[in-house]
Structure 1
Amino acid sequence: MTTYLPKLTLPDAVFNNLPVSVLLPVALGTLVGYSMRPKDTERAYLSWKQPPLRPPPWVFGPAWTILYGLMGYAAHRAVHFGTSPLNSAATIAAARHGATLYSIQLELNLAWMPLFFGLRRPVEATIDVLALLGINGYLAYLWGSSVDSTAGWLLVPYVAWLGFATYLSAGTGYLNNWDLTLDDTKKAQ
């Protein structure tokens, strides 16, 4: 197990304040989404070949808002309750380790959209989402088995969505020969 790395971890004040813990990932995800110019993102999304089961573009905003809220609440529960001085040293260590992993995964999560839609780098975006899937699968296990079972279960929908997002990211990359430049750009070349 790695350890708690304060320089890579959100401050305790974030985790210990329920509204901040829930709203921070929602706000950051919304900021990244809008910074990518939603109409341009939607146009690009609809122009690429997609694997079966591709959801319509309007699904992503509500889905991510719910998932960000759930992950923020899970983080609050795990770190706030897990670092209580009434807990064992092992529980506190697991909660702190999870706080570092949560902070890292949040940064990776926020990087995916700029990688995929901004830079149009499907290989890197797929590696990013695979890392997210692995970290969050482990985080759900760690928090669920060592800190707070509710926190672990709250991450299950996020892990499931990341599995689906991995399929979409890799499928879209593969079906477009790992080249996500827009068709009008391809025609100009």
Structure 2
Amino acid sequence: MTTYIPSITLPALVFQNPAASILLPIALGTAVGFSVRPKETQKTYLALKQPPYRPPPQVFGPAWTVLYGLMGYAAYRAHSTGTNPLSSASQLVNFKQGATLYTVQLGLNLLWMPLFFVAKRPIEATVDIVALTSITGYLTYVWSKVDPVAAWALVPYLGWLGFATYLSAGVGYLNGWSIGDKEVEKSPAGKGTKFIDEKEE
């Protein structure tokens, strides 16, 4: 059973204020994205052998902005329902337990990009995202017992994490779990493609 741990849980003020709840993960995600130098990150991404169905680099920014917003909205909904005086004691308990899970998953989420693109440790990054996906799945279940809308708001995020886990593991495997010093300035000459391993049409 999940335990509510105040010392590692975001303050209640974050959950109870809709703007703070929604904007916090967006702001943190954006800050991490810029801190790892987007241009260098894209060069590394293009240089790596990729599994099928990988999206172009420009998809990730808008996708994560939406998903972070939904994540924050889920947190606000769970708080507003779980702490409502008309709600049951079990709803309050499940919200608080979920709040700890939410904080942990947010930390794991923000850790993935530095692990993968700065430290260039695909094994550790894949372990991180597997743990992140598992915790988010359990969080979705816990908050479904508080507010169904909160749980449904997490479903796109959970689906994307499943896909991201596939990409992380696929890239690690195809590159021998070593991505150090892999960069390209642009698509390989004459190929007109976006990824180093794409074949010419």
What TM-score bracket applies, with the shorter chain setting the length? Answer: over 0.9
Structure ranking higher in helix proportion: 1
Distance (Å, rounded) in 2 between the aligned partners of 1:123 and 1:83: 40
Helix, strand or coil: the match of 2:53? Answer: coil
What is the aligned residue count? 183
Question: Is contact 2:44–2:182 with CA below 8 Å preserved after alignment?
Answer: no
Helix, strand or coil: the match of 1:155? Answer: helix
Counterpart position of 1:130: 130
Q: 1:71-103 CA deviation, whole Å, 9 max, x = no partner?
A: 000001002221223222111000000000000
Q: Does 1:67 align with 2:39?
A: no
Distance (Å, rounded) in 2 between the aligned partners of 1:176 and 1:182: 12
Question: Is contact 2:54–2:167 with CA below 8 Å preserved after alignment?
Answer: yes
Counterpart position of 1:170: 169
Counterpart position of 2:190: none
Equivalences for residues 1-150 of structure 1 within 5 A:
1-144=1-144, 146-150=145-149
State the Cα distance separating 1:5 from its structure 2 match.
0.6
Helix, strand or coil: the match of 1:49? Answer: coil
Counterpart position of 1:187: none
% identity of equivalent residues: 62
State the Cα distance separating 1:2 from its structure 2 match.
2.2
Distance (Å, rounded) in 2 between the aligned partners of 1:79 and 1:124: 32
- Of structures 1 and 2, the larger Rg is shown by 2
Distance (Å, rounded) in 2 between the aligned partners of 1:171 and 1:138: 24
State the Cα distance separating 1:141 from its structure 2 match.
1.3
Runs of 4+ in 1 over 6 A off after TM superposition: none
Letter in 2 for 1:49: K
Question: Is contact 1:3–1:93 with CA below 8 Å preserved after alignment?
Answer: no
**Structure 2: 5+ residue runs without aligned partners?**
184-201
Q: TM-score, normalised by structure 1?
A: 0.95
Letter in 1 for 2:160: W
Q: TM-score, normalised by structure 2?
A: 0.89
Counterpart position of 2:181: 182
Helix, strand or coil: the match of 1:181? Answer: coil
Counterpart position of 2:188: none
Question: Is contact 1:83–1:96 with CA below 8 Å preserved after alignment?
Answer: no
Counterpart position of 1:158: 157
Distance (Å, rounded) in 2 between the aligned partners of 1:169 and 1:183: 16
